[in-house]
Amino acid sequence: MFSTNLVLADHAQRHQIIDGMSIYLGIIPAQLTQKYDSMHGGATDEEHSYHIVIAIFDTKSGKRITNAKLKTTVALLGTKGNTKDLEPMHGELLSYGNYFTMQQAAHYTISTEILRASTKAKSVAHFIFNRPKD
- pLDDT tens readout for residues 50-75: 999 999 999 999 999 999 999 999 99
Cα separation of 24 and 112, whole Å? Answer: 11
Pair 129, 104: CB distance under 8 Å: no
Cα separation of 26 and 18, whole Å? Answer: 17
Q: Which amino acid is at 67?
A: N
Given a cut of 70, is residue 20 above it in pLDDT? yes
The answer to whether the predicted template modeling score (pTM) of the entire model surpasses 0.95 is no
pLDDT at 82: 95
pLDDT at 68: 94
Sort strands 95-101 and 82-89 into parallel, antiparallel or unpaired.
Answer: antiparallel
Task: Write out pLDDT tens, residues 70-111.
Answer: 999 999 988 999 999 999 987 667 899 999 999 999 999 999
Question: Which residues, at least 6 apart from 61, have a Cβ–Cβ distance to it below 8 Å?
Answer: none
CATH fold of the domain at 3-130: Immunoglobulin-like (2.60.40)
Q: What SS3 state is found at 39?
A: helix
pLDDT at 30: 85
